[in-house]
Amino acid sequence: MVGSSLQPQARLSQLRNALFIGTDPEIAAILQDVLDPLSWHVCHASDNGMALAVTANMPFDLVITSESTSARADVQLLHEIRKLRPHTCVIIVTGESTPADVIASMREEAFSYFSQPFSPSALARMVRFAVGGLYEDDGIKVLQGKPEWVRILARCDMQTAERLVQFVQEMIGLPERAAIATAFREILMNAVEHDGNLRPDRHVEIDYVRSKHTVMCRVKDPGEGFALDKIDHAAIGNPADDPLRHITIRADRGMRPGGYGVSLARQLVDDLKTVRRATRYC
């Protein structure tokens, strides 16, 4: 149960441990809904200092920070936790944030990052990803990190892609955040699935460039690239007289339903370009 004693009991020794910092009832409800009480022991810490102290004495599989603290304080907590427990999964939830904070959290290998206001369903989904424990390594590496330019290497799997979309969404911080993040997600998923083939030994390289009035995202995947009018399994390649052709093509090839991502991305951004050498811009 949320808010139980920080001291592990003998009967709980085989359970996995989660630590929830703060008092947000919405986050508490998410943990109660997502974490099976037969498999998880959820503890509570009032602040970051208490969280660090208990982490030194007790291993946690998952830590979720408090919405009442600054992102800088939470990143510092993450840094200290990494010294004690290198493989603890930490999700930062914060009341105030900057692009520099988001980049710092990725460098410290935060699992995910949410600033207020955030979507409870998005956080719940990220908690489910976190407790799945599919990989030992983080899957996201910051190659270059400045608020105006970030270059990231990300593993080609859907979970890593979804995590990266959340980080990028937090960096945007514009009125157009939702549209840009959605466009980026569609292009990234296309790269991970169709050119990365969902192979965790392959990676995509992302550049996020931001100026005062412009955001540009570049996605370089391990494939050969494509031309927009040559992808017959996507809606964007349908001829005017056969607007549903891609549906039949996908079914014949045994592909999942869909094929609308590139079309959607094109509608949401000012410019979308594809070039050879496996690079897409949005």
pLDDT 10s digits, 80-118? 999 999 889 999 999 888 999 999 999 999 999 999 888
Exposure of 123 by Cβ count < 10 A (0-12 exposed, 13-18 middle, 19+ buried)? buried
Taking 50 as the threshold, does the pLDDT of residue 1 lie above it? no
Domain boundary among 133, 164, 194: 133
Domain identity same for 109 and 210: no
Residue 251 has pLDDT above 80, yes or no: no
> Do 169 and 244 contact (CB within 8 A), yes or no?
no
Structural domain count of the chain: 2
1 contact partners, CB below 8 Å, separation of at least 6: 32, 37, 42
Indicate whether 125 pLDDT > 80.
Answer: yes
Is 79 within 8 Å of 54 (Cβ atoms)?
Answer: no
Predicted pLDDT of residue 10: 41
pLDDT over 70 for what percent of the chain? 78
DSSP state of 192: I
- If asked whether residues 141 and 272 sit together in one domain, one would say yes
Tokens of 174: 């514009």
Q: How far apart are CA 177 and CA 170, in angstroms?
A: 8
Domain termination residue (choose one: 133, 156, 188): 133
Q: Of 143, 129, 105, whose CA–CA distance to 220 is shortest?
A: 143
Which token pair is 169?
């969404």
Tokens, residue 88? 């603890």
Q: How confident is the model at residue 9 (pLDDT cuts 50, 70, 90)?
A: very low
Kindly tell me if the per-residue pLDDT of 278 is higher than 50: no
| Boundaries of domain holding 193 | 136-282
Specify the pLDDT at position 237. Answer: 67
Q: Find the CATH number of the domain harbouring 88.
A: 3.40.50.2300
At 195 the pLDDT is 75
Alpha helix ranges (H) inside the chain: 25-34, 48-57, 71-84, 99-107, 120-132, 158-172, 177-190, 245-252, 261-268
Chain CA centroid to CA 166, Å: 4
